[in-house]
Structure 1
Amino acid sequence: MPAITSGRVLVTGANGFLALYVIRALLEQGFSVRFTVRSEGKAAFVREFFAAHADRLEGVIVEDMAVPGAYDAAVPDVDGIVHLASPVDITNPGPPELVTRPAIGGVENLLASVQAHGDKLKRWVQISSVAALGADLSPSAHYTEANWNDASLAVVAELGAKAEPIHKYNASKVLAERAFWGWIEEKKVAWDGVAVLPSLIMAPDLQYAHSGTPTVGLSFGLIPLLRKGITAAELDDIMPWHTVDARDVAHAVVTALSTPEAGGERFIASSGVLAVNDVALAAAQLLPNVAQGNADPALRGSFASRSYVMDGSKAERVLGFKYRPVHDTLVDTITSVPAEIFAAA
């Protein structure tokens, strides 16, 4: 099935941190967008946010994506789908099914709705996560699109509710993405599937900039780590992570819809390694009263050697773009957060 360069794209979970960037990118490329959210209040926010494109924007309320038929009204006459809606719970102390069931159910119900009512669909981009790749965070780990996180599945199967919450979250990502690919294989569908797997996403919080109400974005998750008085030892003790700019992920998603070669592929979206110490160094140049960090080149160089490898080069190669430098993303993210918020942390 050919890729799409115009038409209507369904975006689920439209009021989320990444979703706003994806919708903006789609509208900028001339697509029409049908979006889903869980309430009329959230729909009103999305409509108001993109008021300049009201003629190419429509919303559908999906209160519970795990209910069969929940997406029946959303899929008719769509040429593409970007499925973002999924539970984001890395603290669940209960049974893993509290996280895995809605993630899988959301995918399967959307797939069933497409089968029944989505005969125009040409391409579906499933937003997964690098959490679906593996649980080994040691320096010897090297992740590509060929990897699957069977380790977290095994932990959850053995320990159930006693498993660490992060393994339950990881399992939800693995099982949801496998449900997606399994349906495509089993049903021999007429459309193409693509999966995009971002690492930790950073960027200015569009919702906060627009309304003063933050989404659950990394820009706000970093704030407690940069409080004045945090020690260099504390900064050094936090494991470096792999990150990517939301604007790059949004670009990758739109390009995945329109690139024929992307069909049937998985793409890691990850631009590089970032340590909290690097965040502190950048923040100290931009904001008062935050942790200072340690500028020692030897220390900073050690962070990369202590990190696992997350290879995001396939996305650049096939989708034809270059990631923003991590430092640029970092500066943009920090400067989007008012200084008084850091001061109050």
Structure 2
Amino acid sequence: MPEVPGKSTILVTGANGYIGVWTVRILLERGYSVRAAVRSEQRGQHLLSYFSTYGDRLKLAIVPDIMKDGAFDEAVKGIEGIVHTASPAVAITGHPDEIITPAVGGVTGIMHSALKHGTSLKRIVITSSMAAVMYHCDDSVTYTEKDWNESAVTECEQKAENATPMAKYCASKVKAERAAWDFVEKHKSEIGWDITVLNPPWVYGPSIQEADKPSALNSSAKYWFDAIVKGEIVALGSTDPLVAPGGGWVDVRDCAEAHVRALERPAAGGKRIIVSAGSPHVWQDFFDTANSLTPQPYQGSLAKGVPGGVKKGKNTIDSRTAHEFLGIEWRTMEQLTRDTLEDFQRKGSEWVVKVGE
């Protein structure tokens, strides 16, 4: 498999996003140069400021619309690796195709650009999701890279616009990832690069993206803040969200590290890799962890739930492939929780929320 040489130039799409900024940081710390794809100059200013000590090793690539034909034609020229974290922002309403079509185009578009202009490219690392692997969390199943979320696709096919928003979202992830694998198979005689697909579950942890208040966070980081600080839980259809499995989880820093290692390790080429530190949690797990920290790093409210309450049985997520091909050692739930609460405290009053006051 192709190997991305050290000190290469790497294109990171969605570079100003939750996972993207951490990926840029790790790449720069490793000695790479980064071409950060963002939708406008304004959206790239935080990156240029935050990483100013790296000088011209970080440059912006302005891609206003990733769905436009040839959107990445210029951005892929002269780079050795791509980390593709960007996904079109589309409202999950109406017919499933309204989200599926942009999701597929967001992946195949950059691959078409790479096919035409990526003459020095060695590998594309694509951010997919556990949503492409699993649908429900409350059955006794061990999920591996062999699994696909067929249930969501079937629901969308049968119910069309009446499918649930979650089914539409999951189906878009399935279709987009399959389109990537199909593209490689179709063009395998023409390309000198390969792909690695990473499937993270819920991504939590400290944020270094531009966000001046919790409401500006990306969806998963905001879900964590709302749950742990406010006690507002994303139930995903459960009648008892406190003890219902909330999905697998991974620290955003480990997720970003996995993206970089997927570039660096030749054997990771052509692999689909689940990037999950923990099997589906219940929110009470995080509540108990947050409230047990000593010393307590956060001076705002912390939801308590029902300490010691009964927890449902969970399915499991097999992440042995990540250990084998990426050598990842995951941060624990306690590490993630402590570091994230310290991050909230450090950011100031907008983040130190006292519920009821």
TM-score of the aligned structures, taking structure 2 as reference length: 0.87
Q: CA deviation at 1:240?
A: 3.3
Verify the 8 A CA contact 1:204 1:336 in the aligned structure 2: yes
Verify the 8 A CA contact 1:316 1:323 in the aligned structure 2: no
Verify the 8 A CA contact 1:139 1:309 in the aligned structure 2: no
Counterpart selection for 1:312 from 319, 324, 336: 319
* 1:148-201 Cα deviation digits (max 9, x unpaired): 112111111111111001111111111111111111111012211100110100
- Aligned residue for 1:19? 20
Q: In structure 2, what is the Cα distance between the partners aligned to 1:226 and 1:212?
A: 16
Does 1:246 pair with 2:252? yes
* 1:78-120 Cα deviation digits (max 9, x unpaired): 100111111366x612121221111111111111111111111
Matches within 5 A, 1:13-92: 13-87=14-88, 92=92
Distance change >3 Å, CA 4–CA 237, structure 1 → 2: same
Does 1:218 pair with 2:217? no
Does 1:200 pair with 2:212? no
Q: In structure 1, what is the Cα distance between the partners aligned to 2:18 and 2:231?
A: 29
Distance change >3 Å, CA 325–CA 289, structure 1 → 2: closer
Equivalent residue of 1:316, what SS?
helix
Verify the 8 A CA contact 2:289 2:333 in the aligned structure 1: no
Q: CA deviation at 1:32?
A: 0.7
Q: In structure 2, what is the Cα distance between the partners aligned to 1:107 and 1:235?
A: 33
- Aligned residue for 2:9? 8
Q: In structure 2, what is the Cα distance between the partners aligned to 1:247 and 1:332?
A: 11
- Aligned residue for 2:329? 322
- Aligned residue for 2:166? 166
Q: In structure 2, what is the Cα distance between the partners aligned to 1:217 and 1:100?
A: 19
Counterpart selection for 1:191 from 187, 190, 193: 193
Q: In structure 2, what is the Cα distance between the partners aligned to 1:278 and 1:160?
A: 36
Which consecutive residues of structure 2, in runs of 5 or more, have no partner in the other structure? 234-238
- Aligned residue for 2:236? none
Q: CA deviation at 1:295?
A: 3.5
Q: CA deviation at 1:227?
A: 5.3
Q: Give the number of the structure whose residues are more often helix, by fraction.
A: 1
Counterpart selection for 1:266 from 250, 254, 272: 272
Distance change >3 Å, CA 260–CA 42, structure 1 → 2: same
Q: In structure 1, what is the Cα distance between the partners aligned to 2:263 and 2:230?
A: 44
Q: In structure 2, what is the Cα distance between the partners aligned to 1:120 and 1:229?
A: 49
Equivalent residue of 1:82, what SS?
strand
Distance change >3 Å, CA 130–CA 235, structure 1 → 2: closer
Verify the 8 A CA contact 1:10 1:33 in the aligned structure 2: yes
Q: In structure 2, what is the Cα distance between the partners aligned to 1:74 and 1:229?
A: 43
Distance change >3 Å, CA 229–CA 114, structure 1 → 2: closer
Q: In structure 1, what is the Cα distance between the partners aligned to 2:230 and 2:24?
A: 36
* 1:277-315 Cα deviation digits (max 9, x unpaired): 12222333534433223332x73xx34xx2221111210
Q: In structure 1, what is the Cα distance between the partners aligned to 2:231 and 2:22?
A: 34
Q: In structure 2, what is the Cα distance between the partners aligned to 1:226 and 1:318?
A: 33
Verify the 8 A CA contact 2:204 2:220 in the aligned structure 1: yes
Sequence identity percentage? 34
Distance change >3 Å, CA 283–CA 32, structure 1 → 2: same
Verify the 8 A CA contact 2:137 2:247 in the aligned structure 1: no
Tell me the C-alpha RMSD between the 2 structures: 2.4
Verify the 8 A CA contact 1:274 1:326 in the aligned structure 2: no
Q: In structure 1, what is the Cα distance between the partners aligned to 2:83 and 2:314?
A: 31
Task: Out of 327-336 and 109-118, give the one that drifted further.
Answer: 327-336
Distance change >3 Å, CA 226–CA 271, structure 1 → 2: closer
Counterpart residue identity of residue 216, structure 1: N
Q: In structure 2, what is the Cα distance between the partners aligned to 1:212 and 1:136?
A: 31
Report the count of equivalent residues.
Answer: 337
Verify the 8 A CA contact 1:65 1:102 in the aligned structure 2: no
- Aligned residue for 1:144? 144
Counterpart selection for 1:276 from 257, 279, 283: 283
- Aligned residue for 2:354? 343
Q: CA deviation at 1:52?
A: 1.3
Q: CA deviation at 1:270?
A: 0.4
Q: In structure 2, what is the Cα distance between the partners aligned to 1:114 and 1:307?
A: 41
Q: In structure 1, what is the Cα distance between the partners aligned to 2:158 and 2:254?
A: 37
Distance change >3 Å, CA 125–CA 295, structure 1 → 2: same
Q: In structure 1, what is the Cα distance between the partners aligned to 2:4 and 2:231?
A: 52
Equivalent residue of 2:344, what SS?
coil
Equivalent residue of 1:71, what SS?
coil
Q: In structure 1, what is the Cα distance between the partners aligned to 2:161 and 2:256?
A: 34
- Aligned residue for 1:131? 131
Equivalent residue of 1:222, what SS?
helix
Does 1:116 pair with 2:136? no
Task: Out of 156-165 and 318-327, give the one that drifted further.
Answer: 318-327
